[in-house]
Amino acid sequence: MSFIKLFVTLGTVLGCSSMAMAASGGDTGIQLDLTMHWVGYVGILTFVIAYAFVMLEEKTHMRKSKPALLAAGVIWGLIGLIYAIKGVDHTAEVAIRHNILEFAELFLFLLVAMTFINSMEERKVFEVLRVKLVNAGYSFRKLFWVTGALSFVISPVADNLTTALLMCAVVMAIGKEDKKFVGLACINIVVAANAGGAFSPFGDITTLMVWQKGIIQFQEFLVLFVPALVNWLVPAAIMHFAVPKAQPDSNVGNIQLKRGAFVIMGLFLWTIATAVSFHNFLGLPPMVGMMAGLALLQIFGYYLHKTHKKNKATFSSEKDAERIGDLVPFDVFTKVARAEWDTLLFFYGIILCVGGLGFMGYLAMVSKFMYLDLGPTTANILVGILSAIVDNIPVMFAVLTMMPEMSHGQWLLVTLTAGVGGSMLSIGSAAGVALMGAARGKYTFLGHLKWTPVIALGYIASIYAHFLVNGSLM
């Protein structure tokens, strides 16, 4: 499918939501069809150019948020201009405010999650796990399965990107110069992390969007566990025979957790439970519970700060003092500052870009083509394939904005395909892109592409498993 057809489809999805907003009252009920207007053409061209720069981030070394933010400003600037010329007041303002509200809820949720992850990283939680795995003395084949299984289990809580980077550090520490093992292990990690993130609202931004939209309840994501597991196990079982049988030599010094690490892990689990409870039982946005959890982290950070020992003479060495976290006091705001701001700002740009194209009327066209002409099953399978080429965030946001009429099982299907479809190419997910940088020269686009048919087999098998396990919901 061409880029133009893709973004026309995305525009259709957002158009349905925008039309509903425009009809919400007063003089905001007039909405212009810009699909055949020069403003619409320029808007699509702007988005295509911006997204080309996003996809070329590894080559240009320009952060993906920059072109996305600029494209968002250009698209909505054009919309504002044409509405001002036509004398239509407030309609565009209502539409963009709706998009900004959606972004704000996701932004606050992700900001808290990232802060907790950064806090646990600073308290050496992930480093201790890495060292224990390195020192376990596993063979390459056993490590291949252990890192894959841990990626699948951890990503539903810690998100697929963080999990993939952690496991990549493990295979890099053990595999060292064994390029074949590192490449295969990284492919396995990407597939496992994306699959694990598909059955949890915390595993990926796309699943988080679906949950916050209220389409699928928290516990309902668990029915995707078996299809997600199949998605990982099928390619992993085939790749297993290509993994070297060698026994690596590894000996890394012991590392201890810093003071308060277990409490912060407990607070993170409590915060997740609070967010789920606020959403399921109180009908409030999950980010309200997340922000309450952030307050608890801040209060505990205040305790760590006030009780840290400033006197180095208390410790046998400066290294011991630093290890348990008393040499430098804990500061929660440094963890907030270390959030993935490029990702958060990119997310803002994408939501406004796709929202703008939808407001112009393009998403309604795409929705008709995909979900009426092709049918929901074909459309949802295509969503997963598209997410391997284009980031799954704009694709899923477009689907959520279109809100096509389909069964609960079909909504679960598109959640699954958007989550795991990106595994078919290394550029199809944040985990894959990050690992190409972390394991530069060992995990590459072409190396991943070699195994794409095997990963695609897992993708097909997971869809079949979904129909088999959740057929009653279709």
Q: Does 197 map to a domain?
A: yes
The predicted-structure confidence for 329-363, as pLDDT tens digits, reads as follows 677 778 777 777 887 888 788 889 888 988 898 87
- Chain centroid to Cα 340, Å, comes to 12
Q: Does the residue 419 lie in any domain?
A: no
Confidence band, pLDDT 50/70/90 cuts, at residue 223: very high
Residues 142 and 190 in one domain: yes
The domain boundary, picked from 406, 425, 458, lies at 406
Residue 117 covered by a domain: no
Answer yes or no: is pLDDT of 8 > 70. no
Structurally, the chain folds into a number of domains equal to: 2
What pLDDT is stored for residue 393 in this prediction?
Answer: 74
What are the C-alpha distances in Å from 148 to residues 156, 240, 274? 13, 11, 29
Could you tell me if 7 and 42 lie in one domain? Answer: yes
- pLDDT for the residue numbered 104: 87
Domain contains 347: yes
Same domain for 167 and 90: no
Instruction: Report if residue 426 sits inside a domain.
Output: no
**Would residue 308 count as lying in a domain?**
no
Quote the domain boundaries for residue 236: 124-205+222-250+437-474
Residues 49 and 99 in one domain: yes
pLDDT digits (tens, 9 = 90+) for 371-410: 888 889 999 999 888 888 766 777 787 788 778 888 989 9
Predicted confidence at residue 19, as pLDDT, reads 34
The verdict on 381 and 455 lying in the same domain is: no
pLDDT in tens, 112-130: 888 888 888 888 887 887 7
Q: Check if the beta carbon of residue 376 is closer than 8 Å to that of residue 404.
A: yes
- Do both 468 and 369 map to the same domain? no
Least confident of 128-142, 245-259, 289-303, 362-376: 245-259
Segment 99-104 shows an average pLDDT of 85
Q: Establish how many alpha carbons lie within 13 A of residue 102's alpha carbon, considering only the half-sphere containing its beta carbon.
A: 29
Per-residue pLDDT at 341: 85
Residue 35 belongs to some domain of the structure: yes
pLDDT higher than threshold 50 for residue 21: no
21 and 101 in one domain? yes
* Angstrom distance (rounded) from CA 196 to CA 152: 4
Domain boundary (359, 387, 406) is at: 406
Q: Which residues pair with 319 in a beta bridge?
A: none
Mean pLDDT for all residues in the chain: 81
Residue 14 has pLDDT above 50, yes or no: no
Q: 201 and 160 in one domain?
A: yes
Identify whether residues 133 and 238 lie together within a single domain.
Answer: yes
Q: Let me know if residue 431 belongs to a domain.
A: no
Of 386, 406, 426, which one is at a domain's C-terminal end? 406
What's the whole-number mean pLDDT along residues 79-96? Answer: 89
Q: What is the pLDDT of residues 165-211, one digit of tens each?
A: 778 878 887 777 788 898 999 999 999 999 998 998 888 878 888 88
Nearest to 142 by CA among 150, 130, 154, 152: 150
143 and 231 in one domain?
yes
227 and 136 co-located in one domain: yes
Q: Give residue 175's pLDDT.
A: 76
pLDDT tops 80 at residue 12: no
Determine the Cα–Cα distance for residues 110 and 127; give it in Å rounded to an integer.
22
Sign of the CA dihedral running 259, 262, 268, 274: negative
Q: Are residues 165 and 234 in the same domain?
A: yes
pLDDT at 194: 93
Q: How far is CA 79 from CA 11, 29, 90, 207, 241, in A?
A: 14, 15, 12, 30, 55
Query: What is the mean predicted confidence (pLDDT) over 412-417?
Result: 94
